[in-house]
Amino acid sequence: MKDFSEIKTRLRIRQQELMQRIAQISAQVRHEDTPLPSDFEDQATERENEEVMDALGSAARRELDQINRTLQHIDDGDYGACRDCGREINAARLEALPFASRCIECADRAES
C-alpha cells in the first residue's frame, strides 16, 4: 500500500478549518453573538446575510463530507485506485486533486 500520509495530513488540517468555520457560521446564524436588530431594514440585511452564511455553510459541509469520505478511503486502503478501471491514479494527480476518484484517462473519457 502506498503512503498517503502527506495527503492525509493536508486533509486533516482542512477538516479542522472547515469544522471551525461551520461552527462559526452556525453560531452566527443562530444569533449567539449578536441579537436580532430591531430596525426593519437591519433585519432584512440580517436575513440576507444569513442566506449568504447558509450558502457558505453548505459549501463547507459538502467539502467536509468529501474530506471525510476521502480519509475513510485512505484508512480502508482503497484510496488512489481509479473507480472505473481500477488502476492506480497518478500521484501528482492526487496531489493536485485529492478527491479525484478516476485516473486521468477515465476522467477524460467521462468528460467527453
From 71, 74, 82, 94, residue interacting with Zn ion (rule: CB under 5 A): 82
| Residue 37 Cα distances to 33, 43, 47, 49, 52, angstroms | 12, 6, 11, 13, 18
List, as one string, the DSSP characters of 41-86. Answer: HHHHHHHHHHHHHHHHHHHHHHHHHHHHHHHHHHHHT-TTB-TTT-
From 27, 85, 91, 97, residue interacting with Zn ion (rule: CB under 5 A): 85
Binding of residue 71 to Zn ion (CB under 5 A): no
Binding of residue 100 to Zn ion (CB under 5 A): no
Beta-carbon count within 10 A of 69 CB: 13
In terms of CB distance, is 35 or 110 closer to Zn ion? Answer: 110
Number of residues in contact with Zn ion, rule: CB under 5 A?
A: 5
Q: How far is the CB of 79 from Zn ion (least distance, A)?
A: 14
In terms of CB distance, is 23 or 85 closer to Zn ion? Answer: 85
Binding of residue 60 to Zn ion (CB under 5 A): no
